[in-house]
Amino acid sequence: MSRALFIDGANKARVAQFNLREGREDEVLMDVASVGVCGSDLHYFKDGGIGSTLINEPFVPGHEFGGYLCQDVEELGLTRGQLVAVDPNKACGRCEWCHEGHPNLCPNVEFIGAPPFDGAMTERIWAPRSQLVALPNGFDALDAVMLEPLGVAIHAVGLAKPRMLERVAVLGCGPIGLLIVQVLKAAGAGEVLACDPLPHRRAMAEKIGADRVGESAADIAEWSKGGCPLVLEATNSPFGFRDAVTATRIGGRIVLVGIPDGDIYTLPAADARRRGLNIKFARRMGDVYPRAIEFLAAGKIDVRSIVTHRVALEEAPGVFTALAENAPGYVKVLVDLKGS
């Protein structure tokens, strides 16, 4: 019998006993070391679901995680007790989107930590062998957890295709926005302007390398004299799309990475249409774990400075409430379960 954090519906989280299901032949049992609280986890907590993916029964969240193997995995050269990361996105490998190289768009995906598939905010979990990710020497549980959100940032910047020394705006300085800022810098972007309404997040954006940080998209429009050629939106606001338009110049490009509260965008259409904007939506990520590992191993991305809190499982319900209420000082929170 394990313990886990359950989300029972909107604004309902609790820690209780968890009956671990039996594993399948293609799975390996792991002791979870640490798991991150993601913005999508917060949407499940605040809204009881994301779009058509609803919580209809008690659900264990958590898709950013690493853990210790409970057995050898000889075909991968992994041994019992070894720390590994896990790619939560198990695509079917058979559909046209998988065949076209877009496993993140697979409609048949089994995604760990998205209903109906319980996640890793528990002491033990069965993980598909195909999704295990070996880690270099020196990586710890924090590194293992942060590979997934870093992968999301890498995928978003890959969609954006920033040009050399191009000025770019990043809306939202939560964990994904902060990682996007760093990936943009590593990819050769020029001046990076960022904005966020929360003072502690603005301070963090300045710390990790944003060139100028303001409170709103209006600041970016003013600084850039009409908007940037490229904008990446990473907020949870229903006005995120609108604000991205405000921050983008005529003929510019937008990549929408955030998930809006309530699953609704509020957008005056004329402004976006008259600017002739090129707009992309980012969903999760593709096969980017190898690049995420290279970024961390080379010291090009600082994931540690954005982790502001590490808590025990019993404290996790309070953390969900604090994050949902935008409590001061909270950026990235990890829930530590074993030997972290």
For residues 139 and 141, what is the distance between their CA atoms, to the nearest angstrom? 7
Q: What is the mean pLDDT of residues 129-138?
A: 96
Mean pLDDT of 152-156: 98
Please name which of 88, 287, 257, 118 lies closest in space to residue 175, comparing C-alpha atoms.
257
pLDDT at 2: 87
Q: Evaluate whether 35 touches 334 at the Cβ level (below 8 Å).
A: yes
* Beta-bridge partners for 287: none
Q: How far is CA 105 from the centre of its chain?
A: 16
d(CA 337, CA 340): 7
pLDDT of residue 248: 98
In the predicted structure, residue 340 carries a pLDDT above the cut 50: no
For the cut 50, the answer to whether the pLDDT of residue 53 exceeds it is yes
Residue 339 has pLDDT above 60, yes or no: no
Q: What pLDDT shows up at residue 59?
A: 94
Confidence of residue 1 (pLDDT cuts 50, 70, 90): confident
pLDDT, mean of residues 9-21: 93
Query: What global pTM score does this model have?
Result: 0.96
On average, the pLDDT of the chain sits at 96
Residue 301's closest CA among 313, 293, 312?
A: 293
